[in-house]
């Protein structure tokens, strides 16, 4: 946005930009009293005689919204309050934590604020900032008869940039995003990725005049009526400004990245038909082959089944071998059909990978015990490679399921895929985009798996 910015309180009658020149004005709203729990913010703002007109945008600091809504809690330990508001730790350095909070916002300390609040208490963010913005907007309409937009703001740090800025965490009656995709620029070039965060731009403009310590928690923007939405239709709020996990390229933090990737890796049983990027799979293989292995060997091979024909041919041959085994075991047709259906996870995936173990570089001792231990070392290394592979796929935002079925018919797999005799298939990995969110994993107490001597 371009235009004039008034950096001091101004009256509603002051002149705006010259006629015909794009621009807007922003000023802090003076005269607002100290906000206390239970206060009606719309009435407090109206009592200052703000001179609001249709099309204005009101920028309200979240702190006074939280105070009015009674989001002040007793907390001798601020860290405990942060824990209670945290959904996920993104990064940690010393006492500083960057977290995802209950509203889906990624910010320091979950937005828990210990400043400008009585000793022994902390201030939490509004529980639903969009609803708070709607209440203020509706209250101003009732009190003053004006149609304005409202943005609730809070202060954020930003990755790779020094300094803080205000952003929108709640909005009502404001077009929060301006999607320019599908249009063209001044040179006729297509715009394919341009979505402007209008609400954030408004929030930062307001912070220029509100300041952090000036005691001016509300600002007004005038001259941008096109960003204000009417009362008809659904109010979008700021929900669409929070990037979903699936599209977030930077979801993982710093030292927590590996741990988060490991814990977020889940077995996916149903996939969409969205194609898998072969380069993403190859990057995952590159991560897999960094696993530890005995004697400086490389005991992993990954067979990538990228064509539907190769997948179908392998799975049909495996099914036939499995059915023959079950018939020899005396299983009924119903039991066989039920068991075979369990293999549908592989058939429903748009991409299959068959990890194989090779014993190249292994030692032979001529002793059954030592030779058995030697193979076990290689099997453990193969498992480590597959685990790396699965975690790397999760980092690529690909779902996976490691199924052991190829281990029961290795000769069939080697024959169908034309693999060397020394390659031992170690299951098959179904790869694709999850059709639905996996079910929550049951909590596991790490202590139950630990013995200390």
- Per residue in 303-329, pLDDT tens? 999 999 999 999 999 999 989 988 999
Q: pLDDT (tens digit, 9 = 90+) per residue, 370-386?
A: 999 999 999 999 999 99
Q: pLDDT (tens digit, 9 = 90+) per residue, 78-90?
A: 888 898 999 888 8
Q: What is the band of 443 on the pLDDT scale with cuts at 50, 70, 90?
A: confident
Rg of the chain in Å (alpha carbons):
30
What pLDDT is attached to residue 300? 96
What pLDDT is attached to residue 183? 79
Compute the distance between CA of residue 395 and CA of residue 250 in angstroms, rounded to an integer.
10
Tokens 């699965």 locate to: 390
Q: Which domains does the chain have, with CATH numbers?
A: 25-71+126-247 (3.30.1330.100), 265-449 (3.40.109.10)
What pLDDT is attached to residue 14? 52
Q: What is the band of 387 on the pLDDT scale with cuts at 50, 70, 90?
A: very high
What is the arithmetic mean of pLDDT over 418-427?
96
Which of the two residues, 246 and 106, has the higher pLDDT score? 106
Which of the two residues, 231 and 353, has the higher pLDDT score? 353
Residue 263 has pLDDT above 90, yes or no: no
Compute the distance between CA of residue 233 and CA of residue 175 in angstroms, rounded to an integer.
12
What pLDDT is attached to residue 7? 38
What pLDDT is attached to residue 179? 81
What pLDDT is attached to residue 435? 92
Average predicted confidence (pLDDT) for the chain = 87
What pLDDT is attached to residue 9? 43
Backbone torsions φ then ψ of 73, nearest 5 degrees: -125, 150
What pLDDT is attached to residue 188? 79
* Lowest pLDDT segment from 250-264, 323-337, 355-369, 416-430: 250-264
- Residue 151's nearest CA partner among 164, 126, 138, 168 is 168
Sign of CA dihedral 284, 286, 290, 291: positive
Measured CA distances, 250 to 216, 243, 275 (Å): 35, 10, 22
Which of the two residues, 395 and 28, has the higher pLDDT score? 28
């Amino acid at each position: 946005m371009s235009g004039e910015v008034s950096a001091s309180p101004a009256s509603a009658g002051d002149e705006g930009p010259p006629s015909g020149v794009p621009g807007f004005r922003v000023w802090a709203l003076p005269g607002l009293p100290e906000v206390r729990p239970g206060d009606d913010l719309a009435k407090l703002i109206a009592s200052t005689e703000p001179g609001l007109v249709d099309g204005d945008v009101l920028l309200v600091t979240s702190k006074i919204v939280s105070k009015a809504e009674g989001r002040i809690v007793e907390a001798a330990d601020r860290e405990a309050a942060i824990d209670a508001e945290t959904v996920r730790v993104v990064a940690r350095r010393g006492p500083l934590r960057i977290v995802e909070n209950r509203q889906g916002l990624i910010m320091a300390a979950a937005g828990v604020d210990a400043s400008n609040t009585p000793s022994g208490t902390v201030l939490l963010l509004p529980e639903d900032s969009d609803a708070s913005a709607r209440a203020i907007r509706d209250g101003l309409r009732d009190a003053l008869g004006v149609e304005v937009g409202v943005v609730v703001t809070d202060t954020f740090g930003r990755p790779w940039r020094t300094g803080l800025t205000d952003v929108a965490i709640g909005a009502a009656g404001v077009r929060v995003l301006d999607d320019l995709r599908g249009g063209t620029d001044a040179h006729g070039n297509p715009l394919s990725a341009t979505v402007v965060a209008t609400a954030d731009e408004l929030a930062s403009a307001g912070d220029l005049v509100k300041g952090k310590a000036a005691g001016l928690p509300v600002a007004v923007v005038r001259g941008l009526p096109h960003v204000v939405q009417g009362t008809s239709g659904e109010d979008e709020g700021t929900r669409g400004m929070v990037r979903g996990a699936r599209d977030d390229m930077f979801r993982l933090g710093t030292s927590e990245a590996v741990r988060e990737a490991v814990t977020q890796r889940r077995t996916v049983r149903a996939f969409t038909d969205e194609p898998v990027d072969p380069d993403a799979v190859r990057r995952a293989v590159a991560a897999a082959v960094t696993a530890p292995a005995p004697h400086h060997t490389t005991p992993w091979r990954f067979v990538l089944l990228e064509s539907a024909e190769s997948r179908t041919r392998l799975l049909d041959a495996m099914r036939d071998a499995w059915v023959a085994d079950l018939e020899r075991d005396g299983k009924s047709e119903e039991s066989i059909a039920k068991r075979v259906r369990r293999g549908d996870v592989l058939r429903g995936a748009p991409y299959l990978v068959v990890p194989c173990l090779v014993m190249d570089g292994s030692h032979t001792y001529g002793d059954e015990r030592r030779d058995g231990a030697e193979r076990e070392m290689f099997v453990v290394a193969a498992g480590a490679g597959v685990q790396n592979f699965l975690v790397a796929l999760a980092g690529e935002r690909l779902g996976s399921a490691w199924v052991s079925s190829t281990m029961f018919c290795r000769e069939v797999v080697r024959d169908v895929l034309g693999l060397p005799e020394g390659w031992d298939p170690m299951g098959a990995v179904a790869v694709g985009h999850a059709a639905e969110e996996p079910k929550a994993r049951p909590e596991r107490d790490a202590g139950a798996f630990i013995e200390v001597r």
